[in-house]
Structures are given as structure tokens and as C-alpha cells.
Amino acid sequence: MGSHVSGMSELKKYFQRFGYLSIPDSQNDNFTDVFDTQFENAVILYQQKLGLPVTGKLDSDTISTITSPRCGVSDTAPRIHATKHFAYFYGRPRWDRGSPLTLTYAFSPSNMINYISLSDIRTVFQRAFSRWASVIPVNFKEIEEYESANIKIGFYNGDHGDGEPFDGVLGVLAHAFSPENGRFHLDEAETWAVDFEKQKSKAAVDLESVATHEIGHILGLAHSSVKEAVMYPSLSPRKKKVDLKLDDVEGVQALYGTNPNFKFSSLLESENASNKANMGLNCKSIKSTLSLVVAVFFLLLIIT
């Protein structure tokens, strides 16, 4: 504690940006490279919020998460349920425009990307909106009139005038604002993909996964500490993560109620199947490791 670590000030800026550290006392002050008690507490809070082992140290799990591309929304919203992992924005805002609720969305006429067709982008967003609509009594409708839409979607570079500048490739991927703001901004600098078979870049980011996540923010959800949840803040390149998990569904239904056609049993069956598949992969990995250990053991016996 109290040791100087080169680059620590940049890490502190990261923790400040996402709500774990307060800004220095005066605007002339800069963060130092000292690993102090305040920073240790920030690390502990970060680990708790993101479902990591709580060590208070910059261990490999923590560094890996810090360096992963992520959403630009702060992580420090209060959690309403002690036994759940989802969270809401301060004040628990939601869209309140009568029932049945229909929210309109539109794409910016001037801030789009040109290497993915508008048709493909529209299809991706239709699927993303449909996932949320399938679990809550909210409909989403695309319209042409950008300025009159409830949800305004566009791609932007760097400082684009909303106080939340983007930082280039594989940093902050996107951000969206709480109800009833409706702004939904994606970082134009990223290599966006709708099909990893066509987009071969190692830095490619799945547009549908990010769209599904940011729509959760548009609806009022903050970040989850469940790594498998859509509302977890980070997403690795070339990873697809579009299926709502139980944590996502319970969180959004607490705000809007349940779509009468939604069946929890189907979601639970899907999650159980996914968990069993993951357990199978883990067992294979353990068996492979044990086989390697046994092989090395007998090899050493032969040599000696």
C-alpha cells in the first residue's frame, strides 16, 4: 500500500470514468501513480460490481476485465434487490406513456456507417428490439422521422457533443441514456459486424449484441454483475451475446411487467441446457488436464 506503480494514474482515470473513484479535489489536480487506500477500495467495489473474485488487488481476472471492450455507461447504479444482480439507473426511471406502450426508433440520416448495408443494420436492430418486446408488454416501431422518434440511433466518433466522448477502437463500444432520453450512440471507430463469416477482423464487434445491451439501458436497466447476462458491461471482440438471461428478464419485468405470451419455463429450460453444455466443456477440460498430469508423472518415472 502506498507504492508507486507506473501507469496507475491512467487506471484511476478509468475507475473515475465508470463511477468507482471521485474526481480530484481541484480541477488542477491529477491522479497520481500511488496505489493508495482509496484506489484499493475502488478495486474492491469494481470486483464486487462485476462479479469478480474480491481481492482488492489488480489480479489477472481484474486486469482482463478492465482491458475488455465495454459499454460507456457507469457501473455504479444502486442495486434494488439484495438477492438479485440486475440494477436500475438512479430514481428507477422508466418510459411512462400509457398502455399499451409503443416506442418508436429511427436511424440518424447523417451518422451511419457505410460498410454494412442499412437493410442489414435494420434487421439486426429489429431482432434486438424483438427480444426485449418478447418479455415485456412494450412494442417497438421503426419510423423515418428521426427527430420525432423516441429512440435515436447513430454512429459517432470521439467527442460528439453529449459529454461522453468515444475513445477509439476496442475501448468504449457504445452508450445509451436512461428513460426517457432515448439517445443511442455507437462508436463509429469500431469494426462492426453482423456476420463473422464475412467480417474476418480480429477486432470485429457484434452489432446485434451491443444493440441488445444498449436497448436494456434505453428501457432503464443499469449493468448486471452476472457475466452471462446481456446487461454485463463488457463484450469481447468476435463474441455474440444476444440471448436475454433470467437476470435481464427479471430486471426489465420489474419495471414494465410481463408480456402475457412470455413463458418463464422456456427461458429456464434454455438456461439449464446452456449450463449443462458449459459443465460438459469444463469436465472435458478437467479430464484433459488430468490426463496431461498423469502422462507427465509417468514420463518422470521412466526418466528417473
Binding residues for Zn(2+): 71, 160, 162, 175, 185, 213, 217, 223, 231
3-class SS at 46? helix
Angle between helices 264-303 and 246-256 (to 10 degrees): 160
**146 CB contacts (<8 Å, ≥6 apart)?**
106, 107, 108, 109, 152
Cα–Cα distance, 304 to 300 (Å, whole number): 6
Which of 40, 164, 188, 214 does the annotation list as catalytic?
214
User: Annotated catalytic, 250?
Assistant: no
DSSP 4: B
Binding residue ranges: 71, 160, 162, 167-168, 175, 185, 187, 190, 213, 217, 223, 231
DSSP letter string, 200-241 = --TTEEEHHHHHHHHHHHHHTB---S-TTSTTSSB--TT---
Do residues 46 and 62 lie in contact, with contact meaning Cβ atoms separated by under 8 Å?
yes
User: Torsion angle of alpha carbons 25, 29, 34, 40, nearest 10°?
Assistant: 30
Q: Which residues of 211-220 are buried (b: 16+ CB within 10 A; e: fewer)?
A: bbbbbbbbbb
Q: Which three cell numbers stand for residue 74?
A: 457507469
User: Torsion angle of alpha carbons 165, 167, 172, 175, nearest 10°?
Assistant: 20
Q: Is 220 left (phi over 0), alpha (psi -120 to 50) or beta?
A: left
Q: Which three cell numbers stand for residue 93?
A: 426511471
Count how many residues are written for the chain: 304
State the residue for C-alpha cell 448495408. Answer: 117
Q: Which three cell numbers stand for residue 67?
A: 482491458
Catalytic machinery residues = 214
